[in-house]
Amino acid sequence: MSKRWEDWTAQETTDFQQVFLTWYQQEKRNLPWRYNQDPYRIWISEIMLQQTRVDTVIDYFYRFMETFPTIQDLANAPEDKLLKVWEGLGYYSRARNLQTAAKQIMEEFEGEFPTTVEDIRSLKGIGPYTAGAISSIAFDLPEPAIDGNVMRVVSRLFCIEADIAKASSRKVFDEAMRKIISYDQPGEFNQAMMDLGSSICTPTKPQCELCPIQNFCQAYQEKRQTDFPVKSKKQKPKDVYYIAGIIENNQQEIFLQQRPESGLLASMWLFPLEEISAARFEELQERYDPNRWDLFSDALIAEDSPELFSTEAVVWQKKILGEVTHVFSHLRWHIIIFYGRNTAPLTLEGQWVRPNRFSNYVFPKPQQKMLEVFENNLADDKD
């Protein structure tokens, strides 16, 4: 594979850095974690920005820093409080890893954020990109911060044919970045790469006419911008099908169940869910017209009925309350929602909770979507 960055002279590299950093100083985004070089703030922001848009992260960042202003506050926080502040950002293992790493810092680094790349990498949940971002921005270390934006920019800059979907390709981009990164302003350089990739050198329809480094870009010179980056298709998420039961008792309480302590959505609260087959899911879709409001009868209680429907402690409406879909990185949940009234003691494990107390429980995104369906139906009833 051609390594075009090796052909750059020292003067070309200097010229590139000067043009690029001048553009960044003029155009950089005004973001709350860029006000200073506090490694704690930078760390929190970088973890939040994983798989999440900048405009979504800003409010969460402010709320997080207000609730946990120091590493010690984060280390000592009750997990349910931490997850509640994180609620809605998704990928909740990020929040748990943050707390684990905060405890590491308190125990292994006397409460001070580590200052070397090796020590930063030793913290739970911190990989090469995050370590590069923190070490360069907070401590001025010339470490590349290589994420999807950076690989896209660099692949076009040097017409790199390496498949960015393969982990082995990171070495190629690391080598190229170490050739061009500014040793005087590495943090500014990495952030310039992030901003360029998110605003101008975008995945589709890059705005090359606005790009400050177009004169250095090999793909632009060869009119091959859309050929890069090279990326093989990722595997589609697996479809999983559920029914959800919103069960209400005579005290206007709703039944919630807590997920296991490990695994997907660990320790979070949802309406009762039961996995069913795709065929059963389609059958329920066809069978229960959402415009009907009469109650479920014995017709539903067949040998192949979902267990949730078979309990004699609930009378179900013969109506689909709504449907939601939620995509995780590897799974796509399809959920049909039904409403039922509790008529006898439930044998299910869980808690009865009044809706005005929901704010005390950590709800993952699928639960928030289901709750919205329920609330919309309540609003419709009152119209």
**pLDDT tens per residue, range 9-23:** 999 999 999 999 999
The letter for the amino acid at 142 is P
User: Where do the H-state alpha helices sit in the chain?
Assistant: 10-27, 39-48, 54-67, 71-76, 79-86, 93-108, 117-121, 128-139, 148-158, 170-180, 186-199, 218-221, 278-287, 307-310, 365-382
**Residue 169 structure tokens:** 């390709």
| Enzyme catalytic residues | 46
pTM: predicted TM-score of the whole model, two decimal places? 0.80
Q: What pLDDT does residue 297 have?
A: 45
Q: What pLDDT does residue 289 have?
A: 64
- pLDDT tens for 32-81 read 999 999 999 999 999 999 989 999 999 999 999 999 999 999 999 999 99
Q: Collect all residues with Cβ–Cβ distance below 8 Å to 43 and sequence separation of at least 6.
A: 98, 113, 126, 130, 134
Q: What pLDDT does residue 304 have?
A: 52
β-pairing, 269-270 with 238-248? Answer: unpaired
CA 109, distance to chain mean position in Å, is: 28
Q: What pLDDT does residue 299 have?
A: 42
Q: What pLDDT does residue 42 have?
A: 98
Domain 4-227 part of CATH 2.40.30.110 = no
Instruction: Say whether 238-382 and 4-227 share the same fold.
Output: no
CATH of domain 238-382: 3.90.79.10
Q: What pLDDT does residue 103 have?
A: 98
Low-confidence ranges of the chain (pLDDT < 50): 293, 295-303
The letter for the amino acid at 219 is A
Could you state, in order of their start, the residue ranges of all structural domains in the chain?
4-227, 238-382
Q: Give the other-Cβ count within 10 Å of 72's Cβ.
A: 14
The letter for the amino acid at 372 is E
Q: What pLDDT does residue 283 have?
A: 84
**Which among 214, 176, 220 is positioned nearest to 196, based on CA atoms?**
214
Q: What pLDDT does residue 295 have?
A: 47
Q: What pLDDT does residue 377 have?
A: 83
Helices 79-86 and 93-108, axial angle in degrees (round to 10):
130
